[in-house]
Amino acid sequence: MEAFSLAIAFLVIFFTISFFAFRNASSSVDSNLPPGGSGWPIVGETLDFMVNPEKFVSDRMKKHSPDIFRTNFFGEKIVIICGPNGHKFLFSNEDKHFTAYLRKAMQKLFFSTQVQNSDKVLSNDEMKLPRFMAFFLKPEALVNYVAGMDSIIQKQLKTHLEGKAEVKMYTFCRSITLTLACRFFLGLENPERIAKLVGQFDKVTHGIHNLPLDIPGTAFHYAVKAAGVISKELADVIAEKRARVASGAPTQDVCTSMVVEGMSDEDISEKIMGVLVAGYSTVANTITFFMKFVGERPEIYHKILSEQLEISKSKQAEELLYWGDMQKMKYSWAVVCESMRVIPPVLGTFREAKTDFSYGGFTVPKGWKVFWTVNTTQRNPEYFREPYEFDPSRFMEGDRMPLYTFVPFGGGPRMCPGKEYARFVILAFIHNLVKKFKWEVVDPNERVLGGMMPYPEKGLPVRLHPRYV
């Protein structure tokens, strides 16, 4: 009890000192800065953002400016650039005004202790995928993996869904997408080994977007612990790859290619950790909400099924998918796009101003952080008619939507390099799923939680009904 009282007293003193320091710092704000607020000491307006990001942004756009406003997350001075013009400005000036920025919380999870304990800002080159690694994510390289991924998906559906009356799809989607990512990036095929990693990666992805407090009991603390477990496993994998390379084994996955390129164990581990998290979590979220929207709309399910059965009819029995099949899944991809429009797998990302720049009549100083978010356009009635209606036809019609309004993968030089990888994993999953099962959502009113990365509160339980062709 005494320890608890001392802790409370310490926090009161800490926040009191922080408040006056924060207020004094705020009093010297340049009058030409974008309008906005700073929120509470230390945490700024982070809590308001995490509770309801869409409301947070829309309220401040109305109150301050529809183009740009300033805020504060954990003591970081941040501006949020809004709307399609803001997206265009940001994506078109990536190398001129902006540099990549990784929050300290993410550096602690993904990078070495040396980086974590320094004040160093990681450069674009340090965060950029190596050129040969980026090549693996291009269509000309992915074509070699479609059949293998198709085979893995079929096995996963048979093992985990057949014979089940009800399944929590969020859990399953994270498991299958991590399995695919481990196969593609690490060359791992051992189910038991991958199963051990699923829970650890879930803790990391959950902790990334929570308060970065490394205190026992917090999500971030569990994420730090989980990142340590993953790093140890990656060290074992890298050692195995080095041994295989030394024995003359051929290059078959991204990790082996990194070894061949002469990258250090530390660099390989950092890069692989990042791409694994990105390569499974956002894809899993996209598939999960696809399942939700389609499970609530039988007419859309039947249109997807018809498209996928036509593809199957053009193939020999037991013939696996190939890249050309993906190009035929136009309606299925329109449904995926509409899912990402209504519930984006991730709401945006950060940059850092590498120079002073002006936008919307205001000046943003060098060193300030810049956040762009899909929330300012993708559910905005100015750009999408009836934005809360689920209507895949908007991605099939001849009328093109305004540029820079649908940006789930970002844009410009830093557009998500894994866009094509995500597309083929999602479509291969859909192809196999709809041919085997119909489904219905157990609770259509299930809440969507999460700030930066939305997720269904109960894990999206669905009732499965086998299809017999």
| Candidates 3.20.20.140, 3.30.43.20, 3.40.309.10, 3.40.50.20; CATH matching 32-127+347-385 | 3.30.43.20
Q: Tell me: the pLDDT tens digits for 155-193?
A: 999 999 999 999 999 999 999 999 999 998 898 888 888
Residue set of the binding site for heme:
416
Of the chain, the percentage scoring pLDDT greater than 70 comes to 88
- Give residue 398's pLDDT band: very low, low, confident or very high (50, 70, 90): low
Query: Residue 429 contacts by C-beta under 8 Å, 6 or more apart in sequence?
Result: 153, 176, 287
Of the chain, the percentage scoring pLDDT greater than 90 comes to 57
The predicted model gives 9-22 an average pLDDT of 42
The pLDDT assigned to 23 comes to 43
Q: How far apart are CA 129 and CA 135, in angstroms?
A: 9
Residue set of the binding site:
416
pTM over 0.75: yes
- pLDDT score of 26 more than 50: no
- Which of 357-381 are b and which e, b meaning 16 or more Cβ less than 10 Å from the residue's Cβ? bebbebebeeebbbbbbbbbbbbbe
Q: How many residues does the chain have?
A: 469
- pLDDT score of 83 more than 50: yes
Between 340 and 142, whose confidence is greater? Answer: 340
- pLDDT score of 429 more than 70: yes
